[in-house]
Amino acid sequence: MEIFIPIGLGFVINLLVFIISKSLKQTNNRSLLICLFSFLAVLLASFIIGSWLGMGIGIISLGMLIFVFLVGFVITIIPRKK
């Protein structure tokens, strides 16, 4: 059960990144790309830090990746009204 807290934290962090990028008038695809790059940056930081702290940050990045997959799936399934 304790692993879901950092995964949820990563999900919420990437949700905030997505909302901030959307508020800056970005398209959905560009906002999703920004979220993907933030996931990659956090994952790379976890590899650089290493040790137990790096593993915790890696789990947070897993939640960020889940957000990217989920939002990407929703964006492709639900058509946008013009």
Asked whether residue 2 is domain-assigned, the answer is: no
- The mean predicted confidence, pLDDT, of the chain is 92
The whole-number pLDDT of residue 72 equals 93
Q: How many CA atoms lie within 13 A of 65 on its CB side?
A: 10
CB atoms under 10 Å from CB of 18, counted, come to 20
Query: Measured between alpha carbons, how far is residue 28 from residues 4, 21, 42, 51 in Å?
Result: 27, 9, 21, 36
For residue 1, tell me if it sits in a domain.
no
Number of domains observed in the structure of the chain: 1
Residue 27 in 3-state DSSP?
Answer: coil
Domain membership of residue 39 as a residue range: 9-76
- Could you tell me if residue 56 is inside a domain? yes
In a domain, 3, yes or no: no
Please say if the pLDDT value at position 82 is more than 70. no
**Does some domain include residue 81?**
no
Does 49 fall in a domain? yes
Write down the pTM of the prediction.
0.86
